[in-house]
Amino acid sequence: MKRRILLVSVALSVCAAAIFGWWFGSREQRRLRFRNTDVEITDSNFDICYGSDTARLTIYMFASYTCRHCRAFLNLDLPIIRSRYIDNGEVRLVVKPIDMAENPDMMSALQLASCMNQNGNADGILELLLSDPSAVYTDEFRQLIDDIINSNPMLAECLLSDDFSYIKKNNLLFSATSSKGTPIFVVAGHLYGGRRDVDRFCEIIDYELGRIN
């Protein structure tokens, strides 16, 4: 009889711990507004990365440069996040650009940024995309692409060789998350949609860092 009571007590304790764990996790999920995702995201040499490869936490961001919320995050929030988490080696942000419309002009601009980023000299094109993405639809920008193709064989090969496969793969990954808009952030199996207040985004980072301690 005593053995049976002991077994029941142990079982109840295990159940209580499981319920508490579920409730605590569910509460954090509601508070921080994320959903679980099993979409597997890997790094690419074309990714636009901020931070060290040895950072404890990697955040993947799917961003459209025609999305004002994406540009606001990269222009206004990222500098704060860099000073708090990225510059000290805690966090790495990996930006995966997308263009779901696959507009030829925007795809060329994103491919150019990705190609130039491999050599660490994409600042100019990224600044343009962040400040005035509509410029990529102009004849002047199309002429710039032509000039680069004619004058820089390495960039020309990168621009023309693979039919925008990197951007198209990002588009497919974004579609696989079943998200409706950008930006989205994927962190260790959690998906956070939309731009948050920067302090709330820092709460998210602190929560995710705490999960890996």
At 3-43, the pLDDT tens digits run 555 544 544 454 444 444 444 457 888 899 999 999 999 99
Query: What does the pLDDT read at residue 16?
Result: 42
Task: Write the Ramachandran bin of 163: left for phi over 0, alpha for psi from -120 to 50, otherwise beta.
Answer: left
At 132-141, the pLDDT tens digits run 999 999 999 9
Say what the pTM is.
0.86
Q: Quick count: other Cβ atoms within 10 Å of Cβ 171? A: 21
Q: What is the mean pLDDT of the chain?
A: 90
Query: What does the pLDDT read at residue 121?
Result: 87
Least confident range from 1-15, 70-84, 98-112, 124-138: namely 1-15
Query: What does the pLDDT read at residue 91?
Result: 98
Ordered by start, the domain boundaries in the chain are 2-32, 35-211
Query: What does the pLDDT read at residue 27?
Result: 84
CA proximity to 61, closest of 52, 53, 69, 70: 70
Superfamily for 35-211?
A: Glutaredoxin (3.40.30.10)
